[in-house]
Structure 1
C-alpha cells in the first residue's frame, strides 16, 4: 500500500515510529511531516496528505497534531476524504468498518506513541463493512 503521512511539531517522534512500522510491513510512505518540534502550521501538512488521498496518489493517509482536531478539519475540506479522529484502537477499527475512513487523525498530546502505532496498524488492516453503512457514507459528501 501507499500511505501519505503528515504531522506538525507535536509529533515528529510519532511519525518516525509509525513510518518505521509501515516500512517494515512493506508499505510505501509519502512523508510530508515535520521532523522538528519548532512550531509550524498543521494545515501545511494536512492538505498534502488529503490531496494525495483525494487524488488517488495514496491509498490511505495518516495525520497527526496535538489534539488531532485541527488537522482533521483541514483534511476533511477535501473531496473524497473521510478523516477520522481516533484516540484508541477500537475507534480506529470502527472508523474503517462503519465510516470507510481513509485518513486517520491522531492526537499526539493524548495518546502514546505505542497507541498511535497500534491504531495505525488496526486502521490499515480493517475493511469497510459496507451494507447498511454504505448508504450513510454516501450521505457524507455534498
Structure 2
C-alpha cells in the first residue's frame, strides 16, 4: 500500500517520525511535504496529497501542520477527498469505519510523536463498515453535486 504524506515547516520533525513509522510497518511512503523549517505554505502539501489520493496514485494520505486543520481544509478542497483531523485514536478509527476517510491529519503542536503513531495505526488498521455509513457518504456526495449544479446554473 502506498501512502502520501505532507507537511508544513512546523511539522518537519513529526513528519519524519511518522514517515519512518509507516515504512517500518511496510508501507511505501511518497513525501509531498517540505524538509525545511523555512516558512512553507501548508495548502501546497494538502493539495498535492489530496490530488495523489483522489487520482489513485496513492491509496491513503497523512497530513501534518501546526494543528492539522488548515492542511486538511486544503486537501478537502480536492474532489474525492475525505480528510479528517484527529487528536486522538478513537476518532481516527471511527472516521475510517463510518466515513471511509482517505486522509488523516493532525497537528504537530497538538499531539506528540507517540500519540501521532497511535492515531495513524488506529486509522490504518480500521476498515470501512459500509451499509448505513455508505448511504450517508452518498448523501454528502449528493450535496456537493447539487452545489456544483446550482453554481453552474447561476
**Structure-1-length-normalised TM-score:** 0.96
> 1: distance between equivalents of 2:107 and 2:139?
26
> 1: distance between equivalents of 2:41 and 2:16?
19
Q: CA deviation at 1:32?
A: 1.1
Residue equivalent to 2:106: 106
**Residue segments in structure 1 that go unaligned for 5+ positions in a row:** none
Q: Deviations over 1:85-139 (max 9, x none)?
A: 1100011001101110000011111111111111111111100111111111112
The number of residues matched between the two structures is 142
Q: CA deviation at 1:36?
A: 2.1
Runs (4+) off by over 2 Å: none
Q: Deviations over 1:32-70 (max 9, x none)?
A: 111122211001111110001000001100011111111
Residue equivalent to 2:150: none
Please identify the structure whose Cα radius of gyration is greater.
2
Q: Give yes or no for the alignment of 1:95 onto 2:123.
A: no
**Residue segments in structure 2 that go unaligned for 5+ positions in a row:** 145-154
- When the two chains are superposed, the root-mean-square deviation of aligned CA atoms in Å is 0.9
Higher relative contact order (CA 8 A, sep 6+): 1
Residue equivalent to 2:49: 49
